Amino acid sequence: MILVIGATAHFGRRTVEVLASGGRRVRALSRTPELAGLPEGVEVVHGDLVRPETLGPALDGVTEMFLVLPHGVDVQPLLDRVRQAGVRQIVFLSSGAVAEGGDPQSDVIAAHHARVEREIRATGVAWTFLRLYVPAIGSSSRAMRFQGGDVVRGPHAAVAAAVAHERDVAEVAAAVLGEAEHFGRIYEPTGPRTPTQTEHVEQVVLLGRALVRELSFEEVAEQITQQQLSQFMDADFVGALLELMVGTAGKPALAVNDTVAKLTGHPARPFAQWVADHLADFR
């Protein structure tokens, strides 16, 4: 039995879907099981990470766990119960911002994920880390902010990031769950192409073509975006996200790798595919 923590969040939901479609036995943790809306055949159980006493039934009979965490959540109470339950493997969706052996880490995002990685290693349970740098969904939320008309406004036009489709990340997670050859391994799934220094502009052009609209990208001051996002996200977290973007501006793009192809058997999906899959979200 595979338990997915964060099963109704973006990447958790996609992973549940991939696992279920492949005939895997999946259990999903949710604070509101009646609202989960997950595929038929998935066992949805109640549980809350901030109330660890509710987690016992969810862990019963679990052999592998896929872990997607909200920023800042204390994972130690969960890990104590995971170890006691005899779980064989933890696959953690971490961040590409983590610097291996870095102390201290560069920002709050890297520090949070590095801390969780250390705590997972300390359990003695086999682990696999998926360090994701820039998901396509994150790129869109920062760069593709419609403010009316056909102008898309966002910070830092000169960024470079090989954005990854969430379906690819979910398929990578499914491929490593339960497979001993992936124990103790760190993977960094990326998109399929080396990005340019005008990645946000190119993304907007692709979106415009799909929507049959003449969209353009207009760069705005970082402070404007930070103020907007900080209204509903932790301010330090927002600052770290924007700092990651700054770190790519005017510099060589992060290397594209073949992790997705090796683990799933098909090339990573291009950003154009992500646009096609999410077109309704932009209409």
Predicted confidence band of residue 148 (pLDDT cuts 50, 70, 90) = low
d(CA 241, CA 178): 32
Domain encompassing residue 107? 2-132
pLDDT per residue as tens digits for the range 206-264: 888 887 888 777 777 666 666 666 655 566 666 666 666 655 544 444 568 899 999 99
State whether 281 and 149 are in the same domain.
Answer: yes
Does residue 173 lie in a domain region? no
State whether 127 and 200 are in the same domain.
Answer: no
State whether 121 and 204 are in the same domain.
Answer: no
Q: State residue 251's pLDDT score.
A: 42
pLDDT per residue as tens digits for the range 69-114: 987 788 999 999 999 999 999 999 998 878 787 677 667 778 888 9
CA distances in angstroms from 52 to 33, 46, 217, listed in the order given = 17, 11, 45
State whether 59 and 76 are in the same domain.
Answer: yes
Q: Give whichever of 103-112, 157-166, 243-252, 267-276 has the largest mean pLDDT.
A: 267-276
State whether 46 and 15 are in the same domain.
Answer: yes
Does residue 153 lie in a domain region? yes
State whether 146 and 207 are in the same domain.
Answer: yes
- The percent of residues above 70 in pLDDT, for the chain, comes to 76
State whether 18 and 123 are in the same domain.
Answer: yes
Global confidence as pTM: 0.85
> In 10 A of CB 37, how many CB atoms?
9
ω into residue 104 within 30 of 0, thus cis? yes
Residue with tokens 């683990």, as numbered in its chain:
263
* Total structural domains within the chain: 2
Q: State residue 278's pLDDT score.
A: 82
pLDDT mean across residues, the chain: 83
Is the pLDDT assigned to residue 283 strictly greater than 50? yes
Does residue 174 lie in a domain region? no
State whether 111 and 199 are in the same domain.
Answer: no
